[in-house]
Chains A and B, each alone.
Chain A
Amino acid sequence: MAQSNPPFMSGVPELLVLRVLSRGEMYGYELVKTIRVATGNAISLGEGVVYPSLYSLEQRGALKARRKLVNGRSRVYYSITAKGLSRLADLTSEWHRITDGISTALGEPGRA
């Protein structure tokens, strides 16, 4: 049964956040900086926008948040949960399905 595709860029921030946090816990600024470096500045968003995504993932149980005192500053660190890992696997699979389809359409070898 064919699945309906979400809007092209919808879910990308969520995918990136979960992917980066799967490597270890981070706070907001650190997370955004890692995503920017990891994508080679390809994705440029207002950095404040990442927080609604983090809260939403936390609300759905994909992330956990905890306060941590670092260098005298209280920061909120986010870490992925088992549910978040499962969600990351689904999103990654979906992403590959879409990009493979697009690669096939564009005639790129070895992607289909």
Chain B
Amino acid sequence: MPSPRFVGLLRQLRDLGVAPDYADRLCTELRDHYEDLEDEALRAAKTPLAASAEARLRLGEEHVIAREFARRPELKLWVYRSRLLFVCLRAVSWGLLALRALTAALVARRAAFARFGVAAASAAVLTMALLLVLQISLGTRKPLSSPAPVVADSVDIVFEHWAAPEELVVRAKPTKREPAEQPERVEVASAENVQIRLSVDGPSPIGAPHPQMELAMVRLPDGEYFPVARVAPVFPQRAAARGLEGYVVLEYTVTPTGAVENVIVVESSDDIFEESAIHAIQRFKYKPRIVEGRPVHVHGVRTRVSFELEV
């Protein structure tokens, strides 16, 4: 057991990696040496206080002694003789201590971790069930639990639409006339067996947009996109005045939000109809196509808008 007087020195030596045998032996020998120095001073008729001070002075300061050990690697533990080895071993020891603490925490709070695990699993199952119900209610073809096709996660799936274009027929009187008393009906026909009848309140479609629509939904393939709101185009006044009929074929993209964007004119009989057709198509709203539980873009959607005059 080292003397309390040299506890600080002992700590310094151990921090330096001095072998414990040498550190302990040094403390014992320094204690004896100190007592011998005190006895010598007392024999020289010095006071106990002065004898103690002289003994401390002659023995030297602790950090000087520790420095002498520091520059003698042969007195250190072998792990301290190589700096790199020492650093590596210290890192490993810290890792083991952290692992031990983690293991102890896991064992001590086993019940809490078990409750947490059960709660997390229950939450996951409930979430999956809710998503499944949502998926089914949206009428998608594949449930969420179905195995994913061979498609990488990072690839954005893009579907080109090559079906025959939808067709929208706009009919109007050949000449400008007073607003009709009864709402005028505009028939919209679709090449995908979609039948939507628009009941337009107010005056003739000529010269004004139609603020209200009545939608009739039909059965559609699960997961496929389909229009949920259409706006009837306005029959251009100039065309009606000249008794012109015609059509415009438009191509566009249905976004995951169901909006229409990137509208281009593929074909038209007369550019007099194009602005009206584009304006109407841009206000269409779709239910987007759902693939693997998420809405995707549908490019290349085509709609043919026909402008016909009533006889």
A residues in contact (CB < 8 Å) with B: 27-29, 32, 45-49, 51-53, 55-56, 59-60, 73, 75-76
Contacts and interface: CB of A to CB of B under 8 A. Distances in A.
Interface in B137-192: none
Judged by DSSP, the binding face of B is helix
B74 A48 contact: no
B75 A47 contact: no
Given A28-B29, A56-B72, A49 B65 contact: yes
Given A29-B36, A51-B30, A76 B61 contact: no
Interface residues of B, number: 21
B32 interface: yes
Given A29-B36, A46-B60, A51 B26 contact: yes
Interface of B: 22, 25-26, 28-30, 32-33, 36-37, 58-61, 64-65, 68-69, 72, 74-75
6 contacts: A48-B59, A49-B60, A51-B65, A55-B75, A56-B75, A75-B32
A76 B64 contact: no
B29 A76 contact: yes
Contacts of A29: 32-33, 36-37
Contacts of A73: 32
B65 A46 contact: yes
A56 B74 contact: yes
- In order of increasing CB-CB distance, the 5 nearest A-B pairs are A46-B60, A52-B68, A29-B36, A48-B60, A48-B65
Nearest to B64: A46
A28 to B, nearest CB: 5
B60 A47 contact: yes
